[in-house]
Chain A
Amino acid sequence: MASIAASPVRRARGMSAARRQDLFYGLLFASPFILGVLIFWIGPMLYSIFLVSQDWNLITAPKFAGFGNFERMFSDPLVSQSLKVTAYFTFVGVPLQLLTAFCLALMLNRPIRAQGIYRTIYYLPAITPAVASAVVWVQILNPDAGVLNAILRVFGVTPVKWLFDPVAVIPAFILMSLWFVGPQMIIFLAGLQGVPKELIEAAEIDGANTWQRFWSIVVPMVSPIIFFNLVVGIIGTFQVFTQSYVMTRGGPQDQTRFMALYIYQNGFELFRMGYAALLSWVIFVIVLFFTVIQFRLATNWVFYER
């Protein structure tokens, strides 16, 4: 792009007045972001590296702790616990969310009446503010008066203690998360609508049945979207905070003490700033690791058109 504008610039030796001017305006217009990255990303990250070696409660002067925070981390049973439950919630929850969203999108991608109304209804829970949803779900999941157990009783199923049961609490969180798959559903739907009709018709003429058309055409064509939803889902779920803070505060028996919650508690309840900074780096490295892995894997099973 900009070939006309750029050509006189390219011909000039060194930097022409026009090019200097473009550089000036480019930097000027981009300056909010450039400053933002320095102030809110690079600066804090460098400072955070320094914090890792400090023992500091925000009030008294910071003390150099060497590898003290590392030693604490490796002997802290709650770190491995929080990693475990975060991984459980992420790697069971995200695939189930994607599966739900994909099935909903497949159903909506049919020529049915009132399609727009169904789409709106399925999407609606996703826009409710996270704290409000969490507060509402505390009641829905209540063992005695909650609506979920009321429904289970109708079907003769023994009521579950959900948020009070160490075994059922993560499944309860995952179940709840399925109500909020609206955005993923919309993204899948856009992807499904982008699958060229000609491809499916051609396969049909070649004698492919519905199942074969689905697996050989539709799934490969939307695989970049599946991949996108997977990466975004994992990045987001690894940092889950609001639900556990509002609904369980990490309990019962630390089953919902997710990484982000534990970082918050160390930083802003126990005022161990250095330790919280170190734990933030752990989550940072893990999320980055999965993002890179997924981009590597993607080259094997994701089909890109171009």
Chain B
Amino acid sequence: MNLAQADSPSSQYGRQAGKNVLTPRRVRRAVGRGLVHILMILLGITFLMPLAWVLSTSLKYRAEVFVQPIQWIPSDPQFSNYLEVFRLVPFGNFIFNSFYVTIMGTVGAVLSSVTVAFALSRIRWPGRNIVFAVLMATLMLPGIVTLVPVFVMFSRIGWVGTFFPLWVPSWFGGAFYIFLIRQYMMTLPIELDEAARIDGASHFRVMWQVIIPLCGPAIASVAIFAFLAHYNDFIGPLIYISKNEMYTLPVGLLWIQGRYGNFWHLVMAASMMSIAPIIALFFVAQRYFVQGIQFTGLAGR
């Protein structure tokens, strides 16, 4: 419900009374609606401007980039800019590394979070509430406090310079992901588990065959959050990875900006290639993006 709808009964009445009569009230409403649309379209253009800039600049000649006023549509689209990026830097490696870390991390985050969420919602055991309280506490703690000591720990076991620090921690469950799935699991009736348990199913089978199939939306949202978190991770590879060919897309992009900063068209072509997979994912799974975020917000109540 919202405020604009509040006077809808009377407008419906007006529509019935005379279909083509332009009452001042209806004119005012039509103009109002038009103005809202104009405002929203202008806002839409504003929000899309950076993406339009990336796409447009990535297809320009080098000289065309600095032409004023800005030419939004390149005179002769240079798709070769994209190939040039692969020629100058091991961009294929960056893509491969990013996806490797992202997939390993996402799989681990989903599997471990589902398992822990199951323990915190479907099994009754002494200490469960304590673990849940700890979970809520870690949700609130600023992660930066562990940056230095965790680095020292990984350097002690010789993992600096490997991909392990970027995805192994995800296999221990993320507090936020566990919380999200746990809240979802709490809404499922416990009779489901009980019926399966009476039939002799183990906890593991109940989780795998009864509960997980019912948690699709929550798991999809967590998978997307985890995917984004690993794909976008910057400080991790910045600290742990030093070999150029081991860079993931974010640090690789930064490296390109540092070396070829004056070649705006190449920097934008590289940016476009690192943004594109996320936009594709967004359009395929938009529902779960939105669902997950709504769920987060409602969880905050």
Within A50-88, the residues touching B (CB, 8 Å) are 51, 58
Flag if B43 contacts A122 (CB, 8 Å): yes
| Max chain A C-beta neighbours (<10 A), residue from B43, B57, B66, B148 | B148
A145 B47 Cβ-Cβ under 8 A = no
Q: How far is the CA of A113 from the CA of B41 in the complex (A)?
A: 12
Task: Pick the residue among A2, A58, A122, A130 that contacts B250 (CB under 8 A).
Answer: A130
Question: Is chain A's interface secondary structure helix, strand, loop, or mixed overall?
Answer: helix
Q: Residue A91 at the B interface, CB < 8 A?
A: no
B17 on interface, CB distance cutoff 8 Å: no
Interface hub of A9, A26, A144, A214 (most chain B Cβ within 10 A): A26
- Residue in A22, A140, A188 whose beta carbon sits within 8 Å of that of B125 in the complex: A22
B61 within 8 Å of A by Cβ?
A: no
Q: Is B243 an interface residue (CB 8 A)?
A: no
Tell me if B's interface is mostly helix, strand, loop or mixed.
helix
Which of A37, A125, A129 has the most chain B CB within a 10 Å cutoff? A129
Contacts of B153 in A (CB 8 A): 39, 43-44, 47
Residue among B112, B125, B171, B257 facing the most chain A CB atoms (10 A cut-off): B125
Q: Which of A25, A195, A260 contacts B144 (CB 8 A)?
A: A260
Q: 13 additional contacts, CB 8 Å, given A26-B119, A27-B127, A224-B300?
A: A6-B124, A22-B124, A29-B118, A34-B131, A36-B112, A36-B169, A44-B149, A112-B36, A140-B50, A189-B294, A196-B1, A214-B3, A283-B144
Chain B residues close to A by CB (< 8 Å): 1-6, 33, 36-37, 39-40, 43-44, 47-51, 53-54, 57, 65-66, 68-70, 112, 115-116, 118-120, 123-128, 131, 134-135, 138, 140-153, 155, 169, 171-173, 175, 178, 186, 190, 193-194, 197, 203, 207, 228, 231-232, 234-235, 238-239, 249-251, 253-254, 257, 264, 267-268, 271, 274-275, 278-279, 282, 286, 289-290, 293-294, 296-298, 300-301
Q: Which 10 pairs show the lowest CB-CB distances between chains A and B?
A: A36-B172, A26-B125, A187-B297, A228-B300, A29-B119, A197-B1, A44-B149, A131-B250, A30-B119, A190-B294
